[in-house]
Amino acid sequence: MTALIEAHDIHLAFGETPALRGAALAADAGEAVAVMGPSGSGKSTLLHCLAGILRPDAGEVHFDGRRIDTLGEGARSALRRDRFGFVFQFGQLVPELTAEENVALPLLLGGTRRAAALAEARPWFARLGLDGLEGRRSGELSGGQAQRVALARGLVTRPRVLFADEPTGALDSLTGEQVMDLMTAAAREEGTTIILVTHEARVAAYADREVVVRDGRSTSLSGDRIAS
């Protein structure tokens, strides 16, 4: 099977400090892969290379049969807007916008008219247990509510890949489990691939398999599918 998204022999340094030293990863369509490792191991940097946020110094990144690390910033931005979704540790909601406007934001940035974008965003509130919170701003939401709004924003465009970087890191364990249950269920319903960065074994257990990054190098715990 050809992977939907994969990175081969990725090297990246920040100045004189190497972050990735030959890391690799591959994920199939609809698969959830947890990327684990201690702080500073390079796991978030690998995610950023896969998502086209960072361009590696060496190696290749492919998505849907197309090499993307050589694309210009405009093309990579369009890819992140239209084909990828993101959920970060602290949600990163826009405080000036309501919850439904935050969810609709990727659609608005993609050129969808406001009324249509909000109409597309609203069903996610019932789907993620957020009914009645559409008009609230981020300061009026609990941590778990805000992260579910961020999850809805990450999925509203029906992306091929959802990148989740420590999505439960700012939540208590019960709320974190609720968010992970919703994330994995929604992604599987949509057939979305998940690349999940975490240092918590209980969060990684939601994935189909795990890849460990240490000192900028990756190892698959299952012994295969690092990259094809």
Quote the pLDDT of residue 40. 87
Higher-confidence residue: 105 or 39? 105
Q: What is the reported pLDDT for 228?
A: 40
* Contact of 7 with 24, CB cutoff 8 Å: yes
Q: Across residues 138-161, what is the average pLDDT?
A: 92
Structural fold of domain 5-220: Rossmann fold (3.40.50)
Give residue 39's pLDDT. Answer: 86
Give residue 102's Cα distance to chain centre.
Answer: 16
Query: Which has more pLDDT, 47 or 224?
Result: 47
Provide the β-strand partners of residue 11: 21, 58
pTM for this one?
0.91
**pLDDT, tens digit (0-9, with 9 covering 90-100), for 9-48:** 999 999 999 999 999 999 999 999 999 998 889 999 999 9
Domains in the chain: boundaries: 5-220
Cα–Cα separations (whole angstroms), residue 133 to 142, 150, 152, 170: 11, 13, 13, 20
Query: Which of 23-27, 186-190, 199-203 shows the highest mean pLDDT?
Result: 23-27
